[in-house]
Structure 1
C-alpha cells in the first residue's frame, strides 16, 4: 500500500515533519503565460494602460505572494526565502507575456510552491491591470520548470513550443 506524506496514521491531514531533514540550498523556477490581444500588449509595452505600469506591479505582487505561500496552501511549510525574482518576456507573436519566477532558500524543504504561487499571482496581476481594455485574457501554462536541491536532486521540465 502506498503511504501518503500528508496523512497521519488515522487518515487525517498532517503537515510533514521536516525537522530531521538536512538544510540544503534549494532553487525552483516556474512559469506562467498571459495571452493578450495585440492592442492590449501594445498598451502594456507603452505603459499606457489605465492602471499604470503593469509589469512593475506584477513583479512586486509575485514577490509578495511567494513570501505568503504558506498562508495560502494549508500544509505548506513557512520558509525563510533567500531570494525571489520575477522576470518577464514580452512576446509580440503570438501576443503574450511569459512570466518566469525563481525562489531560493536554504532549508529542509523545497521552494516549488513559492515559485508557482509567484508566477500565478504575477499573471493574475497582469490580468487585473489589463482587464479594463480586454476581458478575454487567458492565463495558462503554469508549471514548474526546474528545481534543484534536496534528496530528489534536479528536476528539469521538458521544453514546450
Structure 2
C-alpha cells in the first residue's frame, strides 16, 4: 500500500517542498550529483543535566565505568562517521574533521557537548554534527546512569553551518543556560 506523504508535508503556500519526497510523494535520497563540491562545516551542541551527586562523581573521576568524557568524545566521533547508517536518507560523507568538546558545567550541573564537523562535498554535515552530539550525550548518560537515572539530555541543536547553496547560517544564542 502506497501512502502519499507529499501532501502531508507541503506548506500552505506550496513554496517549501520537502526535498526528500519525489513528485509522487515517495521518500527518496536527494540527488546531489549536480551540486557543487564546496567546503562545509557544522557545529552542534547539547547538554546533559544531572544531579549534583552524579556531577561530583564525574568531576572527581569516580565513575565506575571509567573515563566518561574521553569515552563520550570517542563516541561522538564514531557517531559522526556512522550517521548515514543511522539516518535513512543521509548521504554517506567523507569527513575531513570531527572535533568533540565536552565541558563540565557546575551551574547545570552537567556536561556541555559541542561537536564540529567538516567536509568538502555536495551536501552538508549538519546531521553528522547533530548525531555526534546525540551519541556523546547518550554515552555520558550510559556511563553515569548507575548514579543518576534521572539525567536529561537537552538543547540538542545546530549552532551554525557554513557552505553550500543555502550559504552560512548561525543560530542566535547558544546551548541551554
Asked if TM exceeds 0.5, the reply is yes
User: Aligned pair 1:52/2:66, yes or no?
Assistant: yes
User: Aligned pair 1:86/2:97, yes or no?
Assistant: no
Q: From the superposition, tell whether residues 94 and 8 of structure 1 become closer, same or farther in structure 2 (CA, over 3 Å).
A: closer
1:55-79 Cα distance to aligned partner (Å, 9 max, x none) = 0000001100100000111110000
Distance 1:121 1:30 in 2: 12
User: Which blocks of at least 5 consecutive residues in structure 1 are unaligned?
Assistant: none
User: Could you tell me which residue of structure 2 aligns to residue 151 of structure 1?
Assistant: 165
Return the structure number with greater relative CO, CA threshold 8 A, min gap 6.
1
User: Which blocks of at least 5 consecutive residues in structure 2 are unaligned?
Assistant: 1-13
Runs of at least 4 residues of structure 1 off by over 2 A?
1-4
Using the size of structure 1 for normalisation, the TM-score is 0.97
Q: Aligned-pair distance for 1:84?
A: 0.6
Structure whose alpha-carbon radius of gyration is higher: 2
Aligned residues: 161
Distance 1:93 1:8 in 2: 47
Q: Aligned-pair distance for 1:151?
A: 1.2
What's the RMSD between the two structures over aligned residues?
1.0
For 1:36-75, list aligned pairs within 5 A: 36-75=50-89
Using the size of structure 2 for normalisation, the TM-score is 0.88
Q: Aligned-pair distance for 1:93?
A: 1.6
